[in-house]
Each structure stands twice: as C-alpha cells, then as structure tokens.
C-alpha cells in the first residue's frame, strides 16, 4: 500500500483554531442559510461549506489564499486544504 504524504499546508497547522460561535458569520449578515460550518485555520473565521447555498468558505479561501479549514461540525475531526484539494483527519 502506498503511503500518502499530507500537504505542507496541513502539516504546518500546529494548533487548531475552533469556531467561536456555531454560525456562518457571513450568512448571518446576509440573512442566508447554511448547511455545515468550516473554520479557517489562518484567520479563525467560521463560514459555511460548499453544500451551503452561498459557499462562503470557498469564496473566503479563494479570495484570501488561506488554504486550510477544519470542520466545525460536532463529532467531525478533519482538515481540508483548498489549494491542494487534500483532507486529513486529526
């Protein structure tokens, strides 16, 4: 079985930033709904996932070049890198 290297962006995360509140900050401002939440590991903002109508976290990462998010859903323990399209559990 091939050993998979985790991308450098995920490896660089030393301490996880977790959601301050369990809401999408941008959806609250816009009055829109979300499905799941993700927290940016660069700046700590919590925004909605790609299954949500507005996909705020994808737009945030694309605009800011912040690469890694974690799931902010209860019981989910994974990181995702938008730049390398890689996922890792923790």
Tokens describing residue 80: 């995702």
Q: Degrees (nearest 5) of the Cα angle 34, 28, 42?
A: 80
- pTM of model > 0.85: yes
pLDDT (tens digit, 9 = 90+) per residue, 16-59? 999 999 999 999 999 999 999 999 999 999 999 999 999 999 99
Can you give the pLDDT at residue 3? 53
Backbone angles phi, psi at 31, to 5 degrees: 75, 25
Q: In angstroms, rounded to a whole number, what is the distance separating the alpha carbons of residues 56 and 63?
A: 10
Give the tens place of pLDDT for each residue, 56-76.
999 999 999 999 999 999 999
Q: Distance between CA atoms of 55 and 37, rounded to whole angstroms?
A: 10
* Average pLDDT of the residues of the chain: 95
pLDDT of residue 5: 83
Closest to 5 measured CA to CA, from 84, 67, 82 = 84
Q: Which domains does the chain have, with CATH numbers?
A: 17-89 (3.30.40.10)
């Amino acid at each position: 079985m091939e050993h998979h290297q985790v991308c450098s962006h995920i490896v660089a995360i030393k301490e996880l930033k977790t959601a301050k509140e369990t809401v999408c900050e941008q959806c609250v401002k816009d009055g829109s709904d979300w499905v799941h939440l993700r927290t940016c590991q660069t700046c700590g903002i919590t925004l909605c996932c790609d299954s949500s109508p507005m996909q705020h976290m994808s737009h945030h990462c694309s605009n800011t070049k912040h690469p890694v998010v974690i799931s902010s859903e209860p019981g989910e323990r994974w990181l995702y890198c938008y730049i390398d399209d890689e996922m890792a559990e923790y």
